[in-house]
Structure 1
Amino acid sequence: MATIEARLSELGITLPKAAAPVANYVATVLGRDTLVISGQLALGPDGVLDAAHKGKLGADVSGEAGRAAARNCAINVLAQAKAALGDLDRIERCVRLGGFINAAPDFIDLALIMNGASDLMVEVLGDKGRHARSTVGVASLPLGCAVEVEALFSIRP
């Protein structure tokens, strides 16, 4: 079994089917040595957004639910990577994660929420999962989701 797949199994994570884009864009762009993944929502394994992951951090969504939503986003990022690459062991490094947090105007703990995604990448990829990151608070996200995460990976050709 592949190394990353084995680690996912050890963590009890089953990657869902990669979600199809809902507008005029592609889910991934594969370059010679990079993979860019469009923003992924916190959809569950069934492709449905859990009610606990809908709304604004600092208003209707708790910090714990926000971190869980970010983790789900990261799992969906890996599902997109699997669909694009076929073999997750082609990933050499998670270069960057971008996080968008649907936040109330006075919510300042954006970085703590995004840790849900960052922590998952390191849990799964080890040191190859350590990445640069941007986290931005936004007024709204698709489907009312609390978090959206995009990614850039360096890959083996």
Structure 2
Amino acid sequence: MSDQFTSAVPPQGDYVAAVVHGGLVLTAGMTPRRAGVLQVRGTVGDDVDLAAAQEAAAMAAGNALLAVAEAAGGLERVARVLRMTVFVAAVDGFTEHSRVADGASRALTAQLGPRGRAARSAVGVASLPSGAPVEVELTVALAD
């Protein structure tokens, strides 16, 4: 059976949810999905407000952690989240990308404590897959 059908975070295309290499886990971009179904759709600053965008970012970060756990054999193997990139589909002129990304940061620290604090970028984009308002990707260091 392929990864698409066995993965806790099923890929939406021809890729894997996470790759383990050289003591690192790199995730694909994760959107706010449950059981493969997008839970929040729209553009931040238009039909998605800041609070909903933060919740969507938290859900996407949770999905990224789920992919890490599945690829690495559990979250106890995580030494530290090194880097997180949060893409925000926002209206022109929106400037609160970092506040949206705070939702994802809070989700990581809620799950991992200090190991979840990461270097972070929040990037505004015109659109994301399936109309998602946010997408999160992680780079994680594994314990020896």
Given the two structures, how large is their TM-score scaled by the length of structure 1? 0.84
Could you tell me how far apart the structure 2 residues matched to 1:99 and 1:133 are?
8
Aligned 1:119-130 pairs, distance under 5 A: 119-130=106-117
- Cα distance in 2, alignment partners of residues 90 and 59 from structure 1: 39
| RMSD (CA atoms) | 1.2
> Equivalents in 2 of 1:90, 1:41: separation in Å?
23
User: Mapping of 1:33-72 within 5 angstroms?
Assistant: 33-44=23-34, 46-50=35-39, 53-72=40-59
- Tell me which of 112, 119, 123 is aligned to 1:132: 119
Runs of 4+ in structure 1 off by over 6 angstroms are none
Distance 1:81 1:139 in 2: 27
Other structure's SS at 2:37 match: coil
> 1:118 maps to which residue?
105
For residues 48 and 27 of structure 1, what CA distance do their matches in structure 2 show? 15
> What is the CA–CA distance in structure 1 between the aligned matches of 2:16 and 2:141, rounded to whole Å?
18
TM-superposed CA distance for 1:79, in Å, is: 1.0
Deviation at 1:28, TM superposition (A): 1.1
**8 Å contact kept, 2:87–2:123:** yes
Match of 1:100 in 2: 87
Alignment of 1:135-146 (within 5 A): 135-146=122-133
**Matched residue type, 2:17:** A
* Residue ranges of structure 2 left out of the alignment (5+ in a row): 1-6
Gaps of 5+ in 1: 1-16
Distance 1:123 1:23 in 2: 29
Given that residues 89 and 126 in structure 2 are in contact (C-alpha distance below 8 angstroms), is that contact kept between their aligned partners in structure 1? yes
Identical-pair percentage? 37
